[in-house]
């Protein structure tokens, strides 16, 4: 055993803090035949997220890449949360949709890095969330300090009021927090920033 690290006064603090903001904003598609990839993307545009069916997997920003590798269609998908129980279902739905659209043997790859961020939600996706009654993420994903940090103002998706309050950091799924509107008194889900 090495000695314990109990040296509270020792000023050792020199590893760089990581930045939680994803820097990968490269759009799709990236490689291969432009026409074909647009067609594939159009197919995926119709595949709904199983937990928030009003947005597609493309609008959610979890389809990270569409490419042809040695004649095989490869779609890279990133999970929203490590333990998201919908991950396998989403991959299966993407596979089924592509097969039904005439791509016989697509490979669906899971990609962890860069980690998914709500910054990748498309504008159309945000608008659909709001119309569905889920407040879209406010601002950009960033690390927030623990104490004394105010919650962002989350406008009520039903009446637009900014007089809302957070009920719980976690809502009906891992990606949402639970809020309540003090004007129309309705509870609603907030798609939290990640």
Partner 1 sequence: MHNVAQKTQTPLIAYLLRLGDSALVLGQRSAQLCGKAPALEEEMALMNVGLDLFGQARNWLTYAAELEGEGHDADHLAFRRDAQDFRNLLIVEQPNGDFADTMGRQFLFDAWHVHLLDGLTQSSDPRIAEVAAKSLKEATYHLRRSSEWVMRLGDGTEESHTRMQRALDNLWRFTGELTQFDEIDQAMFEAGIAPDPEILATRWKATVEEVLEEATLVRPSYDTWMYTGGKVGHHTEHLGFLLAEMQYLPRTYPDATVW
Name the β-bridge partners of 155.
none
Asked if residue 184 binds Zn ion (CB under 5 A), the reply is yes
Comparing CB distances to partner 1, the nearer of 81 and 132 is 81
Number of residues forming the site for Zn ion (CB under 5 A)? 7
Residues 55-74 touching partner 1, rule: CB under 8 A, are none
Question: Residue 178: which of 1, 169, 58 has the closest Cα?
Answer: 169
159, 184 Cβ separation under 8 angstroms: yes
Asked if residue 167 binds Zn ion (CB under 5 A), the reply is no
The Cα–Cα gap between 62 and 129 comes to: 16
Asked if residue 12 binds partner 1 (CB under 8 A), the reply is yes
- Residue 67 CB contacts under 8 Å (≥ 6 apart), including other chains: 29, 30, 31, 32, 37, 73, 74
Question: Residue 32: which of 69, 1, 63 has the closest Cα?
Answer: 69
Asked if residue 156 binds Zn ion (CB under 5 A), the reply is yes
- Residue 153 CB contacts under 8 Å (≥ 6 apart), including other chains: 138, 162, 164
Binding mask 94-133 for partner 1 (x = CB under 8 A): ------------------xxxxxx----------------
Stretch that binds partner 1, among 54-62, 65-73, 81-89, 124-132 (CB under 8 A): 81-89
Query: Where on the chain is the footprint of partner 1 (CB under 8 A)?
Result: 1-2, 4-8, 10, 12-18, 20, 79, 81-85, 112-117, 141, 143-144, 146-147, 167-174, 178, 192, 194
């Amino acid at each position: 055993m090495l000695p314990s690290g109990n040296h509270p006064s020792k000023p050792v603090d020199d590893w760089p803090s990581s930045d939680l903001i994803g820097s990968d904003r490269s759009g799709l598609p990236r490689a291969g035949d432009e026409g074909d990839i647009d067609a594939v993307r159009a197919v995926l545009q119709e595949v709904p997220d199983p937990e928030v069916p009003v947005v597609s997997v493309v609008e959610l920003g979890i389809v990270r890449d569409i490419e042809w590798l040695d004649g095989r269609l490869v779609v890279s998908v990133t999970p929203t949360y490590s333990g998201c129980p919908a991950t396998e279902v989403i991959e299966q739905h993407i596979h089924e949709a592509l097969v039904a659209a005439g791509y016989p043997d697509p490979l669906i790859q899971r990609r962890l890095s860069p980690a998914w961020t709500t910054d990748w939600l498309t504008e159309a996706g945000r608008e659909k969330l709001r119309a569905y009654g889920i407040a879209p993420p406010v601002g950009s994903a960033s690390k927030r300090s623990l104490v004394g940090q105010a919650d962002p103002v989350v406008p009520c998706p039903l009446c637009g009021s900014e007089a809302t309050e957070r009920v719980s950091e976690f809502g009906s799924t891992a990606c949402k927090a639970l809020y309540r509107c003090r004007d129309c008194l309705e509870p609603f889900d907030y798609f939290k920033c990640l």
